[in-house]
Amino acid sequence: MPDLMRSELDLVSRKTSATLLWGLPLVAVIVTGAAPVGTMARTITWTVALLAAGIGCAVNARRSGRLHCHITGPRIGETSTLR
């Protein structure tokens, strides 16, 4: 697939998808990491946030072919299972 077509499929280049897939999970992790929330709430929030970001990376890797996403997508997903 030509590079131009691949760049059009890149989710990172779209503000809405980038915000939903990576911005909101990042904010959720930062807020629950700094706020006085319970361990269970923090664990659930971080797990969901990391899964969302990892899935976003995996989907973006498939759509755009970004090497970075091929590497980080699975790692972020794996991180969500660590305790």
User: pLDDT tens digits, residue range 31-80?
Assistant: 999 999 999 999 999 999 999 888 888 888 888 888 888 888 888 877 77
10 three-state secondary structure: coil
Is 43 part of a structural domain of the chain? Answer: yes
- Domain of residue 26: give its range: 14-79
Give this prediction's pTM: 0.77
Band of the pLDDT at 3, cuts 50, 70, 90? Answer: low
Residue 4 lies in a domain: no
Query: Does the pLDDT at position 83 exceed 70?
Result: no
Q: Is residue 3 part of a domain?
A: no
- Is residue 36 domain-resident? yes
In a domain, 57, yes or no: yes
Q: Is residue 46 situated within a structural domain?
A: yes
Using CA atoms, how far apart are residues 57 and 73, in angstroms rounded to an integer? 4
| Number of helical (H) and strand (E) elements in the chain, helices listed first | 5, 0
Instruction: Please state the domain count of the chain.
Output: 1
Distances from the Cα of 23 to the Cαs of 5, 16, 52, 58, in angstroms? 24, 10, 10, 16
